[in-house]
Amino acid sequence: MSFWRVLKSNCGTVSMSVSLPVFYSLSFLTAVIAFLFALYLYLWVKRERVENRRIEDVSRLIAEGARTFMRREYRILAIFASVVAVIIFLLLPSPIWNGNILDNILMVIAYIAGTVLSAIAGKIGIMVATLSNGRTAEKAQHGLKDAFLIGFRGGAVMGLLVVGCSLFGVAAVLMVAGDPTILLGFSFGASSLALFAKAGGGIFTKTADVAADLTGKVELGIAEDDPRNPAVIADNVGDNVGDVAGMGADLFDSNVAAMASSLVIAFSLSDAASAIEMVFCYSILGLIASMIGIATAKVGKDGNPTRALNSSTYVTTAVYLVLTAAATALLEGFSWRIWIAAATGLLVGVVIGITTDYFTDDTKPIVKRVAKASATGPAFTILSGISYGFISAIPAMAGIAISALVAYLVCDPIGPGYAIFGIAMSAVGMLSIVGMIISNDAYGPIVDNARGLAEMGGLGEETIRVADELDSAGNTVKAVTKGFSISAAGLTVISLLGAFMSEANAALEAAGLPLIAGFDIMDPKVFFGILTGASVPALFSAMLILGVDRNAERMVSEIHRQFNSIIGLKEGNAEPDYGTCIDIATTGALKELIPAGLAAIGATIIVGFIAGPSAIGGFLLGNIVSGLLIALLMSNAGGLWDNSKKYVEAGNEGGKGSDAHKSAVIGDTVGDPFKDTAGPSINTQITVVSLTASLCSALFVAFSIF
Amino acid sequence: MSFWRVLKSNCGTVSMSVSLPVFYSLSFLTAVIAFLFALYLYLWVKRERVENRRIEDVSRLIAEGARTFMRREYRILAIFASVVAVIIFLLLPSPIWNGNILDNILMVIAYIAGTVLSAIAGKIGIMVATLSNGRTAEKAQHGLKDAFLIGFRGGAVMGLLVVGCSLFGVAAVLMVAGDPTILLGFSFGASSLALFAKAGGGIFTKTADVAADLTGKVELGIAEDDPRNPAVIADNVGDNVGDVAGMGADLFDSNVAAMASSLVIAFSLSDAASAIEMVFCYSILGLIASMIGIATAKVGKDGNPTRALNSSTYVTTAVYLVLTAAATALLEGFSWRIWIAAATGLLVGVVIGITTDYFTDDTKPIVKRVAKASATGPAFTILSGISYGFISAIPAMAGIAISALVAYLVCDPIGPGYAIFGIAMSAVGMLSIVGMIISNDAYGPIVDNARGLAEMGGLGEETIRVADELDSAGNTVKAVTKGFSISAAGLTVISLLGAFMSEANAALEAAGLPLIAGFDIMDPKVFFGILTGASVPALFSAMLILGVDRNAERMVSEIHRQFNSIIGLKEGNAEPDYGTCIDIATTGALKELIPAGLAAIGATIIVGFIAGPSAIGGFLLGNIVSGLLIALLMSNAGGLWDNSKKYVEAGNEGGKGSDAHKSAVIGDTVGDPFKDTAGPSINTQITVVSLTASLCSALFVAFSIF
């Protein structure tokens, strides 16, 4: 049904409240305010000067390297997106020879808009991040306070852009197309980009990290950020590429998917107009709450940056809950039941963050236990890390399960379809603070780079200590944001399952076939889908990890070549060729990523054409279950190993150079591609697969074998 | 409905064929033949003499150690079983204050019979295995031929006992109780024992192995089987406890569960009598085929023992397919459709075995790749092993999915209920060659022990070479049997899901509530169950691995204590105290196992009482999906690391002592608890949870909160 028709009919008949189309229109205004706020923060960061020449040079190299990666990535993405756009034009939402050609054109436009908006947000975000790192390093000479603010505000630009773009994009696509199905195309565009940015960036960053460590720390015995190492700039670029652009694209993707699936479901409800308004209203209030949180973030002269980051997250959460409660109380057609679903989603997200912290923070027992196991030998580092990684997945999985159950029980009484709408809204609720989460996450690579720059620029012990403190806060928060983003993706994909069912039923209805009432696990077609779907994240993550291995090997050979052929490099009298390393990381990352992405999408299409839409329902479920488990295991075990290495380096269990340290370093090396490549890429894989399924549902209905 | 009534009514009305009750009665006879064949093989092995004094002594120590473990284990199991028996008496199949007290008594008897039969099979099996190891070592002085036969026939005693006992037990319980629900109690008894034998034995064996390696090879630099190491006997005991008794109990459990669930479903079919007869007929033919396979297993003077083991598996498979086809063609009421389901299950099992072999055999590329990665560093051993481990899970998961789908598509047209019966029969088909599989598996520890004994007895280079060849065949086959047993458990548990639904519906019908038509994944209660169920194998395996770590630490302290306090031990002038090490491994194993087992059972009961039978349907599914994935990952990665270490030791990638070797040893140490503790214990966990759910279904219906 057309969007305008729904809005009009509902405004005319169901409710006369003037509030109804208000929030939908306000989305544009709020997005613009967020953009202006981001511009203000950018100018605020830019105002600072960089005076240390060395820092300026290196910082420029990092910025250039990041640009190189992004340019190359976007070029390949453009080819990929063009192919996909042609396929969409021919086949989606229905084959061009059967359906309305205008819908196909709109779908193509929406798809391209999704990739372009996400790409712009990523591009600007990374530009500001690479602008902020040198400035943070310089400011660290004068203490924590201002250095923290530069790092944080530099990251907040990305946070605001991502949420602003997603809100703006969803509202605009809905306005132009008037049909929520087209939104799925927009969301698919965002997902394609996220696949490249997150998984490609993840391979890039770990290729550089692993190769730099292997040649530098292990073979040559030089420090992590030693400028003689040809891979050192690539390593710093990688942090930005993986954590700023990658995580931003990932959460853009989740956020759009959560809104899109809520809206697809909202359109099928009895009071569709109110439901649509609620989606927009809650999203707007989330953005406002994030802006307030960002504005209030600060740290005292001798304060604690971790606490500062956490407390602004709590401020955002509280403001959001109050604002949405007020809106629900004041506005006609807004249901308290749905508020409860959204609030539960958000609170569960916060609790998941806290439990992740328990498993990865080095002041808590688990990190210490893994460090202790490292003293026995590297095998025990690995065994204990994987065991606690598995255990750490459980609170998040239980949290998602509980939040879905609560949303169902609370919203089901409203009427048919509201149970699944409640689940979608709990994903929207969980993602409401995403602006704040991205800001915290992007802060990480900025201060991590700043630490390296302070060392390379020779800013002295005290400055490095300050930078270290900022960096350690970044690491702690990073583990939390990863747990959060995986869980948010999990909850979102459940609502995408609902969206898939709506789409499949629309196609079945059009074909005059019986509708799907649900996906029964006792139906062997569904069961077949579940097992094959569960295999996909295993395959995808394995391919990415093996890709990092292969790519790192290539880069290690290049580093060896440079040390052998560039005279004076070892002694520090000649510059290494940083660019070639960046090139290798870039080309290799994209080469390794594409087969993995195609395998996931291909499996979905094959299962769909073999066993039809009911098998795909199972496929998506299996994909979610094993994807969540593997993603949480990998992210958390990786964070755990990283921090337990740092804990040993801080002088525990024998400190640096001890056997425990050697074991802990092995754990950390295993953890690197776990936590920065495979683990967090799985959410993107899940979303891509879910959207592929929804978009192809009509084709599966028409052409499946069984 | 009573068994006899079904048989009689069907004989009287549906079919007049005299064949109908025949196979049911023949079960007893076939079981007795199997027992006699086992007795013959036992006497054949016993006839051989052990002449080397040292071998006799050590062999006796191993046998005594195994007895110590079994005695202690059975004592704790007896306490556990008594508690469970009281609970069963009070509550199952329905609370004693509501139902028929006779049913509860029968259920208790069936439960105890299940544990006792499995315990007897394990006890005798391990006795014969520990009798065969010394004899195999002695015979190895005269070449492969006879040594192979002793090793294989010693293992075959266990294979025959397990299949014979399960067939006998199922038939006897059905005869006494006349009600298939009681069979689930028998199956639960088998599962409880398997949990102790497999998971407890798994912790035992890896505790001893890891502690022996850490202190012997790493700290003291002495050989693996050096008699000065106090843990060396415990290590040899462990192989028997884990692989003979553990694997036997595990496959006893799967085999009984497959038969029990087929029979529960068979009773609800339109032509129940024929279906019941088919279950017994196919099981009998499987046992006969296994006996033929065992009888034909032999190796030429310079033949290849791996090929000998594999070819008798293929002989068994072929004989089974021919015999069942003949029975299906000749007998009235036997359907070709069901034959296809059973044959597909068996063929899929064989294919899974072959793909497992591809990932773990050191003549194939994957093992070589991991060995190559080891040259870069231990982190790459781990990363590549885990990646290929994940990929190796996919063929098995796809195979199970395909076999379920084929069974469904082929059997659904027969009539209502036949689709799920077909799936149950494909599990029966896959498990038909289980006698052969156990024989191959039990061969492993016998020849592994024999190799150690040949070394300790100083039988010379040539004998050790022969023993090595026998041992290497055992390792190759072991990886295959593990993949097979995990997949068989996976398929069995799907039919247990069907059995659970039958049971829950019977309870719902009795309570006058609406029946369950299926488990819809869009129902958030089911979804809640799926996510919580998927968490259980993660928790269970993590607890077991952490348990091995803790237990190995205890044992390492004890070994240190002995080396410090026993004068002359290091020089080989004094005997170590082997018994204390065995005690520590035993007590610790049981202490670590019980919380893990209770966590799995407890989670099932909690979810059932919170969210009712539909949530439990989801719970079982989630449990199967994540259980299969984790179990296959762990078993295959473990086998892969083990063989890639051996590949390096054979002189590749720098051979023994190289960096690649050090990395490969770390991989192997990580793999040990993966492949011998956690991985293969997960099938038992899945079966225990499924049976707990089926048995408690009436309670969930009556008392759940939502």
**What's the rounded Cα separation, in Å, for the pair A175 and B119?**
71
* Whether residue A702 has pLDDT greater than 90: no
Determine whether the interchain pair B518/A521 forms a contact, defined as Cβ–Cβ distance below 8 Å: yes
**What's the rounded Cα separation, in Å, for the pair A239 and B503?**
55
Q: Which residues of B touch A626 (CB under 8 A)?
A: 534, 625-626, 629
Identify the residue whose tokens are 């008392």.
B703
Q: How confident is the model at residue A533 (pLDDT cuts 50, 70, 90)?
A: very high
What pLDDT does residue B73 have? 83
Name beta bridge partners: B111.
none
Mean pLDDT to the nearest integer, A287-304: 87
Residue of B383, B400, B532, B682 for testing the chain A interface, max A β-carbons within 10 Å: B383
Q: How confident is the model at residue B15 (pLDDT cuts 50, 70, 90)?
A: very low
| Arithmetic mean of pLDDT over chain B | 87
What pLDDT does residue B632 have? 93
**What's the rounded Cα separation, in Å, for the pair B331 and B351?**
29
Q: How confident is the model at residue A11 (pLDDT cuts 50, 70, 90)?
A: very low
Quick: pLDDT tens for A145-159: 888 999 999 999 999
Q: Which structure tokens are listed for A640?
A: 């755990």
Residue of B366, B369, B390, B551 for testing the chain A interface, max A β-carbons within 10 Å: B390
Q: What is the DSSP letter of B223?
A: -
**What's the rounded Cα separation, in Å, for the pair B622 and B446?**
37
Lowest mean pLDDT among A402-406, A473-477, B563-567: A473-477
Q: Which structure tokens are listed for A36?
A: 């202006």
Tell me, what amino acid is at B17?
S
CB A271 within 8 A of CB A333: yes
- Give the CA distances from residue B330 to residues B17, B20, B287, B334, in Å, rounded to whole numbers and listed in that order: 11, 12, 20, 8
Q: How confident is the model at residue A488 (pLDDT cuts 50, 70, 90)?
A: confident
- On whether any CB of chain A is under 8 Å from the CB of B373, the answer is yes
How far does Cα A220 stand from its chain's mean position? Answer: 35
Closest C-alpha among B490, B482, B479 to residue B426: B490
Q: What percent of chain B has pLDDT over 70?
A: 97
**What's the rounded Cα separation, in Å, for the pair A332 and A417?**
20
What pLDDT does residue B82 have? 92
Cis peptide before B93 (omega within 30 of 0): yes
Quick: pLDDT tens for A413-450: 998 889 889 999 999 999 988 899 889 888 988 998 88
Q: Could you write out the DSSP letters of every residue in A28-82? A: HHHHHHHHHHHHHHHHHHHHS----HHHHHHHHHHHHHHHHHHHHHHHHHHHHHH
What B556-564 contacts at long range (C-beta under 8 Å, 24+ apart), as own/partner pairs, is B556/B211, B556/B214, B556/B215, B558/B230, B558/B584, B559/B211, B559/B215, B559/B229, B559/B230, B559/B231, B560/B215, B562/B230, B563/B215, B563/B220, B563/B230
Q: What is the ipTM of this complex?
A: 0.89
What Rg do the C-alpha atoms of chain B give, in angstroms? 24
Mean pLDDT to the nearest integer, B489-515: 85
Identify the residue whose tokens are 């290729």.
A207
**In angstroms, how far is the first alpha carbon of chain A from the final one?**
30
Q: How confident is the model at residue A302 (pLDDT cuts 50, 70, 90)?
A: low
Q: How confident is the model at residue A628 (pLDDT cuts 50, 70, 90)?
A: very high
SS3 of chain B: helix, strand, coil, percent, to 5: 85, 0, 15
Which secondary structure element, helix H or strand E, spans residue A475, and what is its range? Answer: helix A461-510
Identify the residue whose tokens are 């720098």.
B654
Lowest mean pLDDT among A246-250, B116-120, B145-149, B297-301: B297-301
CB B621 within 8 A of CB A530: yes
Q: What is the DSSP letter of A520?
A: B
**What's the rounded Cα separation, in Å, for the pair B399 and A228?**
52
Q: How confident is the model at residue B563 (pLDDT cuts 50, 70, 90)?
A: confident
**What's the rounded Cα separation, in Å, for the pair A542 and A199?**
12
Interface of B with A in 469-498 (CB under 8 A): 494, 497-498
Name beta bridge partners: A520.
B520
Vertex B199, ends B174 and B111: CA angle to 5°?
20
Distance from CA of B261 to the nearest CA of A (A): 15
Q: How confident is the model at residue B445 (pLDDT cuts 50, 70, 90)?
A: confident
* Whether residue A676 has pLDDT greater than 60: yes
Mean pLDDT to the nearest integer, B571-580: 83
- On whether any CB of chain B is under 8 Å from the CB of A407, the answer is yes
* Whether residue A79 has pLDDT greater than 50: yes
Q: How confident is the model at residue B17 (pLDDT cuts 50, 70, 90)?
A: very low
Burial class (CB in 10 A: 0-12, 13-18, 19+), A326: exposed
* Whether residue B585 has pLDDT greater than 50: yes
Quick: pLDDT tens for B95-104: 788 778 888 8
* Whether residue A581 has pLDDT greater than 70: yes
Name beta bridge partners: A399.
none
Mean pLDDT to the nearest integer, B126-147: 87
**What's the rounded Cα separation, in Å, for the pair B455 and B449?**
10
* Whether residue A185 has pLDDT greater than 60: yes
Interface of A with B in 666-685 (CB under 8 A): 666, 669-670, 673
What pLDDT does residue A248 have? 86
What pLDDT does residue B540 have? 96
Lowest mean pLDDT among A177-191, A207-221, B35-49, B510-524: A207-221
A521 contact partners, CB below 8 Å, separation of at least 6: A527, A530, A618, B497, B518, B519, B520, B521, B526, B617, B618, B621
What pLDDT does residue B600 have? 94
Residue of A376, A522, A685 for testing the chain B interface, max B β-carbons within 10 Å: A522
B274 contact partners, CB below 8 Å, separation of at least 6: B10, B14, B15, B20, B332, B333, B334, B335
**What's the rounded Cα separation, in Å, for the pair A149 and B583?**
60
B519, B628, B670 ranked by CB distance to A522: nearest = B519
* Whether residue A279 has pLDDT greater than 50: yes
Q: What is the DSSP letter of A571?
A: T
More confident residue, B216 or B637: B637
Distance from CA of B603 to the nearest CA of A (A): 12
Q: How confident is the model at residue B2 (pLDDT cuts 50, 70, 90)?
A: very low
* Whether residue A311 has pLDDT greater than 50: yes
B375 contact partners, CB below 8 Å, separation of at least 6: B653, B654, B658, B659, B660, B663
CB A547 within 8 A of CB A596: yes
CB B534 within 8 A of CB A629: yes
Q: How confident is the model at residue B301 (pLDDT cuts 50, 70, 90)?
A: low
CB A147 within 8 A of CB A471: no
Determine whether the interchain pair A538/B673 forms a contact, defined as Cβ–Cβ distance below 8 Å: no
- On whether any CB of chain B is under 8 Å from the CB of A517, the answer is yes
Quick: pLDDT tens for B460-484: 888 888 888 888 888 778 777 777 8
Interface of B with A in 537-556 (CB under 8 A): 538-539, 541-543, 545-546, 548-549, 553
Quick: pLDDT tens for A463-485: 888 888 888 888 778 777 777 88
Query: Which residue is closest to B410 within chain A, CA to CA?
Result: A524
Determine whether the interchain pair B401/A376 forms a contact, defined as Cβ–Cβ distance below 8 Å: no
Q: What is the DSSP letter of A301?
A: T
- Give the CA distances from residue A41 to residues A44, A125, A153, A566, B365, in Å, rounded to whole numbers and listed in that order: 5, 12, 6, 42, 54
Q: What percent of chain A has pLDDT over 90?
A: 38
Name beta bridge partners: B520.
A520
Mean pLDDT to the nearest integer, A164-170: 94
Q: Count each helix (H run) and each strand (E run) in chain B, helices first.
A: 22, 0
Residue of A352, A629, A642, A674 for testing the chain B interface, max B β-carbons within 10 Å: A629
Whats the size of chain A, residue-wise?
706
